[in-house]
């Protein structure tokens, strides 16, 4: 294994220093280090973050390898500064058995670019009728701890209660896609002034808030862990604030796009802006940003949702919801939060690693710690060209926008997956 001497890098909240990486771990931290056998990286002006951890990634394999594979999504993740991603279960076949989660986990190991931690489905086939084999997935080689029907809500309250009870035995967590289906039938975008003007069927904020309110009460009743996926409304923030004040074991994530974009984007009728939950209002964006800073929302998660061209470049009503996120998330976080590196490390690495139980991730560089880290150039500016992304899909909402911040290098257990801003393999 090659040793790396990273010179003059700024750690989170500290003065520039050197890091020596050897045998997969951070061997030494301090000014003026030397190591004859090490490859030297001049990191002047760069920030060292613990490798980013994504709680919500769609890798599309098995089933839609034309849109993304475990390998292409892993490469996109590494280029975005990630060292671990949690792969959502809405594949085809659905990841609702030990066999499928082990397949995804193995493909992740083979790609070797990030740690791929499979999420298991809560219900068989995401159909919302019967619980999937949660225990078998937990006991499998993939050691599943997060279960989610994401893309679908576990709408039946009795099934949701049973799922929360079941995972309590192994400290698992149910990650809910909060969407009351009866309130969103035929929905195309956020229900509000813009949807009225455009004549598109609305997805009301209350469809999300009602499920979160129900689920925090169920989680409290059962004493189990709930995670709320892609929170998108100011009202949801208030429900979460209330639940956290009561000591409910609930965590929540927000996506980069819900922190930046609003429903006015739908005025273009460009389906790249169609996403689930939909882009909301400027007031929602403000509330989400405040909640993230305050800790009512725990995590930024990408909801990286690659879709093939034919599923996106069509009429708005027929387009699939979802947008890419892995390769742009850090830049959007930097735009939204500013250079608050400790907050960025907390929301994009330390806390998501804890929620997912990914020991070895989310740790700031210190002697003996696994060398999972990413080096960011906060001053670099880049124009997003969809054709240049590592993802197999092109559905980024940031096409041709100039974003600030660039991932210069990513290390997974001491081996670079990205160097000079380029994927190593």
Ligand X SMILES: NC(=O)N[C@@H](CC(=O)O)C(=O)O
Residues that bind ligand X (CB under 6 A): 58, 90, 150-151, 177, 275-276, 303, 305, 320-322
The strand order across the sheet containing 299-300 reads 146-147, 173-176, 225-228, 250-254, 299-300
* Distance separating alpha carbons of residues 321 and 63, to the nearest angstrom: 17
Instruction: Return the closest-CA partner of residue 248 out of 272, 278, 286, 212.
Output: 212
CB of 57 to ligand X, least distance (A): 10
**Token pair of 356 as six digits:** 């997912």
Q: How far is the CB of 274 from ligand X (least distance, A)?
A: 7
Does residue 177 have a known ligand-binding role?
Answer: yes
Residue 258 or 347: which CB sits closer to ligand X? 258
The answer on whether 339 is annotated among ligand-binding residues is no
| Beta strands, E only, 357-414 | 373-383, 402-412
Q: Which is nearer to ligand X, 235 or 271 (CB)?
A: 271
The DSSP element (H or E) to which 282 belongs, if any, is: helix 282-294
Report whether 59 belongs to an annotated binding site.
yes
Q: How many CA atoms lie within 13 A of 223 on its CB side?
A: 2
Cα(124)–Cα(239) distance, integer angstroms: 29
| Closest distance to ligand X from the beta carbon of 321 (Å) | 3
Is 303 annotated in the active site?
yes
To ligand X, the closest distance from the beta carbon of 346 in angstroms equals 24
Tell me if 215 sits within 8 A of 176, measured CB to CB. yes
Per the structure block, which two tokens stand in for 27?
């061997």
CA torsion sign, 235 to 239 to 240 to 245?
positive
322 is in an annotated binding site: yes
Question: Is 197 annotated in some ligand binding site?
Answer: no
Whether 372 has a binding-site annotation, put simply, is: no
**Active-site residue, selected from the candidate residues 115, 149, 263, 303:** 303
CB of 158 to ligand X, least distance (A): 23
| DSSP string across 302-326 | --B----HHHHSS-GGGSPP-B--T
Please say which residue, 142 or 189, places its beta carbon nearer to ligand X. 189
> CB-wise, 322 or 416, nearer to ligand X?
322
Cβ nearer to ligand X, comparing 89 with 216: 89
Residue 308 · residue 317 · CB < 8 Å: no
Binding-site residue ranges for Zn(2+): 56, 58, 150, 177, 230, 303
Would you please indicate which residues are annotated as catalytic (active-site) residues?
Answer: 303
Binding-site residue ranges for substrate: 58-60, 90, 276, 307, 321-322
Binding-site residue ranges: 56, 58-60, 90, 150, 177, 230, 276, 303, 307, 321-322
């Amino acid at each position: 294994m090659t040793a790396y001497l990273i010179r003059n890098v700024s750690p989170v909240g500290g003065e520039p220093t050197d890091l020596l990486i050897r045998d997969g771990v951070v061997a030494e931290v301090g000014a003026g280090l030397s190591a004859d056998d090490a490859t030297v990286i001049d990191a002047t002006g760069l920030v060292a973050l613990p490798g980013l951890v994504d709680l919500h990634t769609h890798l599309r394999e098995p089933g839609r390898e034309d849109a993304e594979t475990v390998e292409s999504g892993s490469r996109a993740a590494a280029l975005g500064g990630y060292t671990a991603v949690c792969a959502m279960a809405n594949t085809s076949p659905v990841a609702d058995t030990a066999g499928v989660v082990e397949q995804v986990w193995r493909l992740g190991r083979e790609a070797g670019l990030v740690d791929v931690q499979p999420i298991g489905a809560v219900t068989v086939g995401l159909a919302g009728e019967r619980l999937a084999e949660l225990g078998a997935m937990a006991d499998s080689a993939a050691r599943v701890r997060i279960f989610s029907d994401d893309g679908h809500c576990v709408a039946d309250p009795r099934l949701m209660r049973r799922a929360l009870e079941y995972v309590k035995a192994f400290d698992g967590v149910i990650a809910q896609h909060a969407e009351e289906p009866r309130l969103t039938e035929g929905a195309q975008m956020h229900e509000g002034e813009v949807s009225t003007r455009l004549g598109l069927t609305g997805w009301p904020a209350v469809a999300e808030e009602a499920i979160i309110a129900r689920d925090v009460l169920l989680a409290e009743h059962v004493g189990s862990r709930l995670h709320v996926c892609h929170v998108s409304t100011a009202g949801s923030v208030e429900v979460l604030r209330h639940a956290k004040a009561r000591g409910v074991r609930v965590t929540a994530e927000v996506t980069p796009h819900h922190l930046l974009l609003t429903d006015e984007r739908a005025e273009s009728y460009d389906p790249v802006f169609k996403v689930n939950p939909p882009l909301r209002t400027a007031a929602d964006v403000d509330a989400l940003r405040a909640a993230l800073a305050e800790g009512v929302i725990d995590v930024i998660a990408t909801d990286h949702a690659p879709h093939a061209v034919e599923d996106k470049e069509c009429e708005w009503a027929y387009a699939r919801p979802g947008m890419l996120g892995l390769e742009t998330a850090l830049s959007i976080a930097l735009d939204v939060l500013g250079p608050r590196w400790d907050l960025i490390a907390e929301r994009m690495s330390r806390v998501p690693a804890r929620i997912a139980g990914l020991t070895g991730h989310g740790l700031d560089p210190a002697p003996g710690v696994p060398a999972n880290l990413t080096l960011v150039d906060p001053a670099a500016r880049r124009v997003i060209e969809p054709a240049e992304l590592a993802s197999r899909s092109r559905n980024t909402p940031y096409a041709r926008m100039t974003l600030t911040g660039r991932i210069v290098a990513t290390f997974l257990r001491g081996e670079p997956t990205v160097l000079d801003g380029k994927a190593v393999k």
